[in-house]
Chain A
Amino acid sequence: MKHLELTSLQIKEKILSKEIQAVDVIKHLFEWIKETEPNVQAYITTTEEESLRKAEEIDKKVKNNERVGLLAGIPIAIKDNICTKNLLTTCASQILKNFIPPYDAFVINRLKEEDAIIIGKTNLDEFAMGSSTENSSYKETRNPWDLERVPGGSSGGSAAAVASNLAFMALGSETGGSIRQPAAMCGVVGVKPTYGRVSRYGLIAFGSSLDQIGTLTKDIKDAAVLLQVISGHDACDSTSAPVPVPDYLHGIDSGINGLKIGIPKEYFADGLNTDIQKAIKDALGIYEKLGAEIIDISLPHTEYAVATYYLVATAEASSNLARYDGVRYGLRAGSEGGIVSMYCRTRSEGFGNEVKRRVMLGNYALSAGYYDAYYLKASKVRTLIKNDFDAAFEKVDCIICPTSPVPAFKIGERTNNPLEMYLTDVYTIPANLAGIPGISIPCGFSREGLPIGMQILGRYFEEKRLLQIAHTFEAETNFHLKTPPLKDPRWCRG
């Protein structure tokens, strides 16, 4: 099963050259899933039969020398808040425990057009609300590097699946760091594109002005090809940008000579784990050696980002989640009472505590008499945070900082204190508020052997530049090649 450790592009190459059949890849993969999934618990749903059928189709195409798509035969996992036609889509919530979408998300259509094989739907924090995947109402996904720790979140299932070779690549989504943070904690590459780069059509909304679909992959080239496939304008999403999509792989290795890297002092403040601080410092040393210029910058409103985020995101969420009322789809409880009691029972039974907390916070921030002090105030501070980035990008080409202030923490360690959990996203949230793109790449390990992620932020729609910058580092290091010790009996609790 050695080939499960290959990257997506490598396995595709082998399928196309007929060195291996797509069907065999799927078979091996599902054997590995059966063996490993009980430990990692990355998936809510898997689709073995359908995957085999699709793999046969691709093998036939290859055999007949027919044209195949960019992702031919690559097994991909999808975060379970992205709608898949005729395939259960739960958002890790009881309220959607039986929801079968009658349509495919834009990104799913694109994947299917490019012959990717969707192997399952991955676990997440309920409605993507969380930073550890502990808020799933289905299962507790574990960090493949240490099964007693969280994988990060909310795209924890996708990150853990890619890290443990349970998928070759995965889609995740971000509202406040939900791709980059679990990517960092699981030691994989996570890309959060510019707001508007990838259509949100079919992504179950959390915070509509922040949400964006992105990628989790084993390396940068895989990220480039997956991003290539899912990017582009969609007439069904008014907020999708009609900006041309460049060829992300082309010139990915063209280097970083003359690159100006900004280092925001606010991101190296109290609370930053010292191993992480050191890993980032070492990484900057490598960049400098490769010809980059390191420039100290300031993003003065960083300390307000978390507060701003928890008003904007929850306000939007409170209205986005109003539709789960037991009328048209999903769970219904308490129909013996009147309509209002049916609403209340359905939502009280269907939502977990974190969702309830955020929906209440959001409704409070929008309610009569509080709108100006909370929602409107936060919208204004959001402008200040965006202005910080605009000013910085006049001086530098990209910003490098830690993705998360801490490596993966223990399961249950932060669940009793929501505020402490929210602060986990302190470094990722500003990019979502501004709408700029960001990548997290593996850049080292903590003294406990946990992966450390480095974040690279860029200007609007400069994903290609970010991929080049990240690839340059990846080519010089081998952090991304390390795989978690899943075969180690110490970790196998079954």
Chain B
Amino acid sequence: MEYEVVIGLETHAELSTLTKLFCGCSTKFGVEPNTQVCPVCLGMPGVLPVMNKKAFEYSLKSALALHCEINKFTNFDRKSYYYPDLPKNYQISQNYYNLGVNGYMTIEVNGSTKKIRIHNVHLEEEAGKLIHPEEIGTNYSLVDFNRAGVPLLEIVSYPDMRGVDEVDSYMQTLRKILLYMDVSDCKMQEGSLRFEASISLREKGSDKLGNRVEIKNLNSMKAVIKAIEYEVGRQSKLLDRGETVARETRLWDAVTERSERMRSKEEAQDYRYFPEPDLLPVLIDEKWLHEIKGTIPELPLDRKLRFVEVFKLSDYDSGILTEEKVFADFFEECVKILNRPKAISNWIINDLLREVKDRKLDIHNLPIKPKQLASLIEIIEKGTISSTIAKEVFSEMIQSGKNPHAIIEEKKLAQISDESLIESIIEKVIATNPEAIEDYKKGKKNALSFLMGQVMKETKGKANPKIVNELLKGKVGV
């Protein structure tokens, strides 16, 4: 039988604030265990939470970017469950009045766009980390509370995705949006971006939803895709055999590439949500919303389409340029200085990105400024240096951070356009290569290129090739 796959995603993104959601402890990743902990984030008796304003505003910003309706009255709820990495055994989250609801995000799959609806966006606190020692026979686990209390944004989609292509695009697009807004560093390997998928199958053409299975423990985008593919296979087999799919939560194992049942619907947790009395509600007025809206940059997909439209770049090039906000910004800065979008785009895509990759540069701290790339391109267009020399200059710019003019001056890389100087060099070359002239006269046309090469060699590539060509032709009598 043929099935339609119905997929929804729950995304958790750690917000990149300096401090935790409810206390002043640092959120820095990878420090010594239990050194970024205080009575508040350890859930000691008597402590109280106070909301980090930046975390709240980042959440608001994200909800707006995902076209959510913002609840004018929002508050926080306690979600109760026992787990040793959850200090209070309840998580401060949102349930009854999520800060953003009914949004959508546009994704692009195979050249066409699709809106994936967002059910809600809300803010909650991160749990600590549980470590299971690998030595056989250990009967204990270890807890590190450094992550406990880090602000966590949860984005819940509707089950609007119909295949792994869409899921892939959803994840990439969402990641890009969060990065563009600078609200999360989205490092999946550090756990600051995580996904959970819910998958159901239904007969093609039917509008009745099948039983939903949730998959947890997906530690990379690759794992999400693999787990969905596995689950689709598993469910189709069951349905083909006429069996029903159980509503359950399954745990993905990235090593065996299989999932195992974690709990059934009957064992579903009773979270006992109720309003968190230690935090007061947040009322959001138009003025505040307006302020936050003002901080949202143009989002990646919009920007890409604009690059195609305004700068007449290819879809592919625009895609690469807008992949990271830093480069899209860099591009636009350059264009503002020098209106040569195509040339600038080529330099960024072919040269800047390669240098960044080869030298493992920090993209937020590039050694080259837009103004410098613009003047390099200007210099090339004026004919001061050849494009071959330009590559050398560019590499030097990255290395030293110097202006192209300075490098050209210092290394005497400027093109030689002085005709009498070039003529004297040509004469010298002809004098030392009489056989080449003979060859040419015999009809060997490539002898001319040989002489040309010799002139360039004499001038270390700096002679203006156009002038050399003309003068050489005159000398050999073409």
Distance A239 CA – B276 CA, assembled complex (angstroms): 11
B279 at the interface (CB under 8 A from A): yes
A83 and B46 contact, Cβ closer than 8 Å, known pairs A209-B277, A343-B82: yes
Complex interface: chain A residues within 8 A of B42 (CB)? 328
Q: List 25 A-B contacts (CB under 8 A).
A: A83-B44, A83-B45, A101-B39, A101-B44, A102-B39, A102-B44, A202-B47, A236-B50, A238-B48, A318-B80, A319-B78, A323-B45, A323-B87, A325-B82, A327-B84, A327-B143, A328-B42, A328-B87, A329-B45, A339-B141, A366-B273, A371-B272, A371-B273, A371-B274, A375-B274
Q: Mark B342-378, 1 if CB is under 8 A from A, else 0.
A: 0000000000000000000000000000000000000
Interface residues of B in 51-104 (CB under 8 A from A): 51, 78, 80, 82, 84, 87-90
Interface residues of B in 262-292 (CB under 8 A from A): 270, 272-274, 277-280
Complex interface: chain B residues within 8 A of A205 (CB)? 45-46, 278
Complex interface: chain B residues within 8 A of A425 (CB)? none
A491 at the interface (CB under 8 A from B): no
Interface residues of A in 221-248 (CB under 8 A from B): 235-239
Complex interface: chain A residues within 8 A of B279 (CB)? 238
Inter-chain contact A319/B46, CB cutoff 8 Å: no
B341 at the interface (CB under 8 A from A): no
Distance A89 CA – B42 CA, assembled complex (angstroms): 17
B297 at the interface (CB under 8 A from A): no
Complex interface: chain B residues within 8 A of A375 (CB)? 274
Distance A205 CA – B88 CA, assembled complex (angstroms): 12
Inter-chain contact B88/A238, CB cutoff 8 Å: no
Distance A99 CA – B143 CA, assembled complex (angstroms): 19
Distance A320 CA – B272 CA, assembled complex (angstroms): 13
Interface residues of A in 315-357 (CB under 8 A from B): 315-316, 318-319, 322-323, 325, 327-329, 339-340, 343
Complex interface: chain B residues within 8 A of A91 (CB)? 45
A475 at the interface (CB under 8 A from B): no
Inter-chain contact B278/A319, CB cutoff 8 Å: no
Q: Mark B395-423, 1 if CB is under 8 A from A, else 0.
A: 00000000000000000000000000000
SS class, residues of chain B in contact with chain A: loop
Inter-chain contact B50/A323, CB cutoff 8 Å: no
- Select A328's contact among B43, B48, B78, B272, beta carbons within 8 Å: B43
A101 and B46 contact, Cβ closer than 8 Å, known pairs A323-B88, A328-B87, A339-B84: yes
Complex interface: chain A residues within 8 A of B273 (CB)? 366, 371
Footprint of B on A, CB under 8 Å? 82-83, 89, 91, 96, 99, 101-103, 105, 200-205, 207-209, 235-239, 315-316, 318-319, 322-323, 325, 327-329, 339-340, 343, 363, 366-368, 371, 375
Smallest CB–CB gap between A339 and chain B, Å? Answer: 6
**With A105-B46, A328-B87, A339-B84 given, can you name 10 additional A-B contacts, CB distance below 8 Å?**
A96-B45, A102-B44, A103-B39, A207-B277, A209-B277, A239-B277, A239-B278, A319-B78, A322-B80, A322-B90
Complex interface: chain A residues within 8 A of B48 (CB)? 200-201, 236-239
Considering only CB atoms and an 8 Å cut-off, how many residues of chain B contact the other chain?
Answer: 29
Distance A343 CA – B84 CA, assembled complex (angstroms): 10
Inter-chain contact B278/A322, CB cutoff 8 Å: no
Distance A323 CA – B86 CA, assembled complex (angstroms): 9
B49 at the interface (CB under 8 A from A): yes
Inter-chain contact A203/B82, CB cutoff 8 Å: no
Smallest CB–CB gap between B37 and chain A, Å? Answer: 10
- Select B50's contact among A235, A316, A329, A366, beta carbons within 8 Å: A235
Inter-chain contact A366/B46, CB cutoff 8 Å: no
Inter-chain contact B82/A322, CB cutoff 8 Å: yes
Smallest CB–CB gap between B278 and chain A, Å? Answer: 5
Complex interface: chain B residues within 8 A of A371 (CB)? 272-274
Complex interface: chain A residues within 8 A of B46 (CB)? 82-83, 101, 105, 201-205
Distance A49 CA – B50 CA, assembled complex (angstroms): 36
**Which A-B residue pairs are the 9 nearest by beta carbons?**
A322-B89, A366-B272, A209-B277, A208-B277, A204-B45, A83-B46, A202-B46, A368-B270, A323-B88
A238 and B272 contact, Cβ closer than 8 Å, known pairs A202-B46, A204-B45, A322-B82: no
Inter-chain contact B87/A238, CB cutoff 8 Å: no
Complex interface: chain B residues within 8 A of A343 (CB)? 82
Smallest CB–CB gap between B27 and chain A, Å? Answer: 19
Inter-chain contact B50/A238, CB cutoff 8 Å: yes
Q: Which partner residue on chain A sits nearest B23 by CB separation?
A: A236
Complex interface: chain B residues within 8 A of A327 (CB)? 84, 143
